[in-house]
Amino acid sequence: MRTVAVILALLAVTPSQGPRQADDLLRRWVGTHHGRPLHLDFYDDTMLVVNDTIPTDFLATRDSLIAMGDTSFAVLYWFVLDRLLIETEEGRVVTMARQDLLARPLHAGRWRGTSTGGEHTFELLMYRGNIAAWRRLPGGQWTRGEWNRNVRFINFTWEPDSTTWTAFYDPYGNALQFEELEPGSGTVILRRAFRW
């Protein structure tokens, strides 16, 4: 378990920056720390760090960021010329570039959601190696298949009859939207379930 203990010291925002909102963080940032790649992937109220698969809770103020999870840290941050700069406990400043939303990897994991009318609830598992499984909740039987991502669209092929679904991927909201999963289900939106 990697834990970086950091003493949090608040600094005033540089006047030339103007006020910034913590919402500016909600994207993928890439940089290098200690000669190794550092990725901070922010999703609404959770984030992923480097290659962690377990999400991290975070609290962001106007100029400080505290992350709590397998990777824990507290840093100061500010923006300069569309770059995120974070200052670590050692006084090192890490420069991070914004990465386009569509460049975010589609993490393997559990996705859950309901149809527009709320009558049907579904669970979808996406594994590395493009393997997938889905079921209706509660207690439905698993159907196995494969998935393949093409930028904003993800195609699923299910066994044994090669039924296909197409999902629209919303990387900012970390959600998948299907027009129909089963006959009569209507639009279904599945959101990444970081904890279950």
Could you report the per-residue pLDDT of 25-69, keeping only the tens digit for each? 888 899 988 888 888 888 767 787 876 767 788 888 888 999 887
Please answer whether residues 51 and 66 qualify as being in contact, where contact means their C-beta atoms are separated by less than 8 angstroms. no
CA proximity to 92, closest of 71, 77, 72: 77
| Backbone φ/ψ region at 129: left (φ over 0), alpha (ψ -120 to 50), beta | left
- Taking the C-alpha atoms of residue 67 and residue 143, their distance in angstroms, rounded to an integer, is 37
User: What's the pLDDT score for residue 7?
Assistant: 25
Range 178-195 average pLDDT: 80
Range 182-192 average pLDDT: 82
Statement: residue 144 has pLDDT above 80: yes
Statement: residue 156 has pLDDT above 90: yes
Q: What pTM value is reported for the model?
A: 0.54
151 burial class (0-12, 13-18, 19+ CB within 10 angstroms)? exposed
Peptide bond into 160 cis (omega under 30): yes
- pLDDT tier at 6, thresholds 50, 70, 90: very low
Backbone angles phi and psi of 107, in degrees to 5: -70, 140
Q: Cβ atoms within 10 A of the Cβ of 61, count?
A: 12
Statement: residue 14 has pLDDT above 70: no
Give me the CATH code for the 22-103 domain, please.
Answer: 2.40.128
CA proximity to 113, closest of 173, 52, 27, 47: 173
User: What's the pLDDT score for residue 94?
Assistant: 94
The dihedral sign for the CA sequence 60, 61, 63, 69? negative
- pLDDT tier at 161, thresholds 50, 70, 90: confident
Statement: residue 72 has pLDDT above 80: yes
- pLDDT tier at 174, thresholds 50, 70, 90: confident
CATH-assigned architecture of domain 109-192: Beta Barrel (2.40)
Q: Which residue spans of the chain are classified as CATH 2.40.128.640?
A: 109-192
